Structure 1
């Protein structure tokens, strides 16, 4: 966590934040272009993050989405919260439609396998997600859907 993390948590909790998401995403894309992918808005906020790269399920075009993550067992946990929006984020649908994905983590592009975590195991890892970003609890309250959680692991020669 960084010095700006408490400010980011406060900003992320405000009720109008979901409406600002398109502007934040555009700003983040510009920042990443300017820094050649070395810095994102989440980096500035001091939060662990990846860029998830998955093919669009309809077009096949690669879609890149910066995401908050939690490190766990040599992998990454990500949540499809979309600030508590009732709709699933598009990246969730695209991820579910592909076998493997790519992530960019600390400037390195890695091929990853993924699993969607469900049941009691999801409840356990959800606590990890809440430790990283307490606002996930607010997002849970804003929506009737269960926020999906995924575990990404680096593809090795053995997998």
Structure 2
């Protein structure tokens, strides 16, 4: 598991936070499109989905490749934004329009998202840190509370 530790260390750096948001999603979208929804490059390290949400302001469909944490009955999406200052746009979209769709292992699944809060969020946050420890570095780097969403099939 030396490879995983190396990736976790690199993904915790500020340089990664500056570069990754521009490179990784673009690569994921291209590969996902070319493989007809069957492959996400980033999912070789962490499970991943393509979230199709409705833009909070534009009303346009937005496609966001995201790491996810599969859980019984759905998925957890973590709005870490690679440890950058603001919340990622997809979190604003889900708050405005919780009904969305995910592409999971080649299947298009209608879902509903719910922002987690309180004890439920605290419990899921502990599981997220065990799942991907760099989330702790991301949280330490920002003043905002990283948003967590539970996404379930509609």
TM-score if structure 2 supplies the norm length?
0.91
Q: What's the secondary structure of 1:146's corresponding residue?
A: coil
Equivalent residue number for residue 97 of structure 1: 96
Deviations 1:87-108 (A, max 9, x none): 1100000111113111111111
1:114 is aligned to 2:124: no
Equivalent residue number for residue 32 of structure 1: 32
CA shift at 1:3, angstroms? 8.3
Q: Structure 1 unaligned segments of length 5 or more: list them.
A: none
Equivalent residue number for residue 42 of structure 2: 42
CA contact (8 A) 1:70 1:132 kept: yes
Q: Map residues 2-151 of structure 1 onto 2, 5 A cutoff.
A: 4-20=3-19, 21-45=21-45, 47-151=46-150
Deviations 1:54-91 (A, max 9, x none): 01122221111111111222110111110121111000
Q: Structure 2 unaligned segments of length 5 or more: list them.
A: none
Number of aligned positions between the proteins: 153
Change (3 A) 1:118 1:18: same
CA contact (8 A) 2:98 2:114 kept: no
Measured in 1, the distance between the counterparts of 2:7 and 2:51 equals: 21
Write 1 or 2 for the structure with the bigger share of helix: 2
Measured in 2, the distance between the counterparts of 1:92 and 1:149 equals: 9
